[in-house]
């Protein structure tokens, strides 16, 4: 029996690891660091698909592996504006004020490389209640917004801002499980 996990996860995200654990997929972690700056006039869809694909490609190249490599990218989109991770407090507060009382989208792209390259996308609508400045500031001081796209974590304290979600909860967290499971099954991985 082969004890080698069937996939390499090209991410250091504890949330992505928890989600793979949730569906019983064995993996090893090899995080890659790439430039995630959006290109000029790049659409949110093209952006998340490109970044996920570049992460999986970088992992394959660095490890020189033929093993399956799974990578993902998640971003918050308001209108056609990509909201990445906040640079600082002012940036986080501005993002949360923009999201307040509105519906935005969370795009999550998955890239799976083996003999071939396969991708999937999840787009979820998330609606926030109207936030007060006091709530926004208190949330910033919780420390949670700092490394999260759109400056919030739906699986954490940020959940109290969400009045509605239409789509994939796991996609908003960072790895849409339905789409991930489909791609893995197509490559013969038990889910």
pLDDT band at 124 (very low <50, low <70, confident <90, very high): very high
Catalytic residue among 21, 33, 73, 80: 73
Kindly state whether residue 191 falls inside one of the protein's structural domains: no
When pLDDT is averaged across residues 20-45 and rounded to a whole number, the result is: 95
* pTM score of the predicted model: 0.94
pLDDT digits (tens, 9 = 90+) for 140-167: 999 999 989 999 999 999 999 999 999 9
The total of structural domains in the chain comes to: 1
When pLDDT is averaged across residues 49-75 and rounded to a whole number, the result is: 96
Q: Quick one: tokens of 38?
A: 């959006």
Kindly state whether residue 45 falls inside one of the protein's structural domains: yes
Reply yes or no on whether the pLDDT at 1 is more than 50: no
When pLDDT is averaged across residues 94-100 and rounded to a whole number, the result is: 98
- 73: annotated active-site residue: yes
Report the alpha-carbon distance of residue 60 to residue 57 in Å, rounded.
5
Report the alpha-carbon distance of residue 88 to residue 111 in Å, rounded.
29
Give the range of the structural domain holding residue 31, as residue numbers without chain letter. Answer: 7-186
When pLDDT is averaged across residues 2-18 and rounded to a whole number, the result is: 88
Kindly state whether residue 162 falls inside one of the protein's structural domains: yes
Local structure of residue 144 (DSSP, 8 states): G
Give me the phi and psi of 124, to 5 degrees please: -125, 135
Reply yes or no on whether the pLDDT at 2 is more than 60: no
Percent of the chain surpassing pLDDT 90: 93
pLDDT band at 190 (very low <50, low <70, confident <90, very high): confident
CATH code for position 155: 3.90.950.10
Kindly state whether residue 98 falls inside one of the protein's structural domains: yes
Reply yes or no on whether the pLDDT at 7 is more than 80: yes
């Amino acid at each position: 029996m082969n004890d080698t996990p069937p996939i390499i996860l090209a991410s250091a995200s504890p949330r992505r690891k928890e989600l793979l654990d949730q569906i019983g997929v064995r993996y090893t972690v090899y995080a890659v660091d790439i430039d995630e700056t959006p290109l000029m006039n790049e659409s949110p869809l093209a952006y998340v698909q490109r970044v996920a694909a570049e992460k999986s490609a970088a992992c394959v190249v660095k490890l020189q592996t033929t093993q399956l490599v799974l990578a993902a990218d998640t971003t918050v989109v308001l209108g056609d504006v990509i909201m990445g991770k906040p640079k600082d407090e002012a940036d986080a507060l501005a993002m949360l004020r923009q999201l307040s009382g509105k519906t935005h989208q969370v795009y999550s792209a998955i890239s799976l490389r083996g003999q071939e390259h396969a991708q999937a996308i999840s787009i979820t609508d998330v609606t926030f209640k109207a936030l007060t400045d006091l709530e926004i500031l208190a949330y910033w001081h919780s420390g949670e917004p700092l490394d999260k796209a759109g400056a919030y974590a739906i699986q954490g304290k940020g959940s109290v801002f969400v009045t509605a979600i239409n789509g994939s909860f796991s996609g908003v967290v960072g790895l849409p499980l339905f789409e991930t499971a489909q791609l893995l099954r197509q490559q013969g991985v038990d889910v």
